[in-house]
């Protein structure tokens, strides 16, 4: 497939998924607006459809709560058949009037997308409108979700990580015994080829139980923090938060806004990142931290490599991290059909090649690694990932995720961030005019 055809096909996916003010992640499986999806999607639009990139971020920011939480779903009242639906979440007392939202967050990619929008549009007026909302969201994460003042946000739910059923959460979920669950009917299994592509019923029972706890305390963080059995300092979430804080700082400088609070956030993260997430710098892998059991969650997944994206760790340590990209456990050249990083190490006892975040290759995680490798000037590794991502979607299409063994697409087809980040790679590498 020629470059122009690949670009045209990627744009066609976003066109199919456009809903007037926002883009759905996929036409069937995900019929509403998802938070971090929209930030990744906006990045693609900045290259050729600025007005849609603006609308994408506008619509997600318009759903921000009174306490500045940015919900992970903005529900489309015209779309039905998805669970959990807005009636289940019961967020009316927190969300803006007329907006139907969920009650949890997702990784804060939005400031990164906003800065990218500015670089392409020079639209200072729009950035000025977004800035207080973005800063408010970061403050919510670093105050309400970090009473320890560690510099790092705590997640309450696997859905907040974006890595819903990753092996990273197995231990924390296993200690939860769901009880008094409401009756519910999943809709996700109706839109995939095989049930094994999605989380199990046992997973879902625990997901719903955690939401029931949030609802019981009316989403009040002070009470939730005391009682929630799932409290994790997520290494990917906080890597993204650091990159987003740096983007927010640049936006503050562009707008002439006061930035001492943002500088304080960044300084605290830089001082403590290694201690918080890297128990063994000689190993070069980074892990989530379980606040309930007070220990690192040592699972070899793509998350252990994602801090490359932040540029926060000294290069001698990152050199050890990069060595893992050449390991057969992470699809080094000749191991898998495409040399891309799977969501879980191939040698892991938890690896499942087509099951969501337990094995498949995802484009967004490899895109983040690509960005970080460029930052650290590991240009050969970066180029290898870039080429492999484009080769994969050229051969297999714009799927949600891919079997690392043969590159076959799974999950939803016509997946928006796969298309959007493909567009970003094509434009960024000067492969299109």
Residues known to be catalytic = 164, 400
Contacting residues for 295 by C-beta, under 8 A, at least 6 apart:
289
Nearest to 247 by CA among 120, 112, 46: 112
Nearest to 208 by CA among 216, 155, 198: 216
DSSP class of residue 97 equals T
Q: Which residues pair with 301 in a beta bridge?
A: 344
CB atoms within 10 A of CB 401: 25
Contact 102, 76 (CB under 8 A): no
Q: Which two tokens stand for residue 364?
A: 């967004």
Helix (H) / strand (E) element for 393: namely: helix 379-396
DSSP class of residue 328 equals G
d(CA 47, CA 158): 32
d(CA 325, CA 295): 26
Angle between helices 3-17 and 35-45 (to 10 degrees): 140
Q: Which two tokens stand for residue 192?
A: 């995939």
- Count of positions (residues) in the chain: 433
CB atoms within 10 A of CB 164: 18
Contact 372, 309 (CB under 8 A): yes
């Amino acid at each position: 497939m020629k470059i122009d055809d690949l670009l045209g096909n990627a744009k066609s996916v976003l066109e199919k998924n456009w809903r007037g003010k926002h883009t759905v992640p996929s036409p069937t499986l995900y019929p509403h607006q998802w938070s971090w999806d929209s930030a990744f999607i906006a990045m693609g639009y900045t290259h050729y459809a600025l007005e849609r990139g603006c609308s994408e971020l506008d619509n997600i920011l318009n759903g921000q709560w009174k306490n500045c939480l940015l919900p992970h779903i903005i529900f489309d009242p015209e779309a039905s058949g998805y669970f959990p639906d807005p009636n289940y979440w019961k967020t009316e007392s927190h969300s803006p009037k007329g907006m139907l939202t969920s009650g949890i967050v997702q990784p804060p990619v939005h400031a990164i997308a906003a800065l990218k929008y500015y670089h392409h549009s020079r639209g200072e007026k729009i950035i000025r409108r977004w800035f207080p909302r973005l800063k408010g969201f970061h403050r919510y994460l670093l105050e309400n979700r970090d009473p320890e003042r560690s510099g790092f946000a705590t997640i309450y739910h696997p859905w907040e990580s974006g890595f819903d059923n990753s092996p990273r959460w197995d231990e924390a979920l296993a200690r939860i015994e769901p009880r008094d669950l409401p009756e519910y009917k999943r809709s996700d299994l109706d839109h995939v080829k095989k049930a094994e592509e999605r989380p199990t019923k046992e997973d879902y029972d625990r997901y719903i139980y955690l939401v029931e706890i949030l609802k019981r305390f009316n989403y009040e963080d002070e009470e939730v923090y005391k009682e929630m059995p799932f409290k994790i300092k997520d290494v990917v979430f906080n890597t993204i938060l650091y990159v987003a804080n740096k983007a927010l700082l640049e936006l503050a400088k562009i707008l002439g806004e006061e930035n001492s609070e943002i500088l304080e956030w960044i300084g605290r993260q830089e001082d403590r990142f290694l201690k918080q997430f890297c128990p063994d710098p000689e190993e070069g892998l980074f892990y989530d931290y379980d606040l309930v059991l007070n220990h690192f969650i040592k699972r070899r997944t793509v998350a252990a490599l994602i801090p490359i994206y932040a540029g926060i760790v000294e290069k001698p340590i990152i050199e050890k991290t990069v060595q893992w990209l050449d390991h057969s456990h992470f699809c080094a050249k000749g191991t898998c059909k495409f040399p891309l990083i799977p969501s879980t190490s191939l040698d892991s006892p938890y690896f499942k090649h087509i099951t969501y975040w337990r094995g498949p290759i995802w484009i967004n995680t490899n895109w983040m690694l690509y960005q970080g490798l460029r930052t650290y000037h590991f240009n050969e590794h970066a180029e290898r990932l870039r080429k492999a991502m484009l080769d994969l979607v050229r051969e297999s299409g714009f799927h949600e995720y891919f079997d690392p063994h043969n590159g076959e697409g799974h999950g939803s087809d016509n997946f928006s961030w796969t298309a959007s980040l493909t567009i970003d790679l094509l434009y960024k590498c000067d492969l299109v005019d």
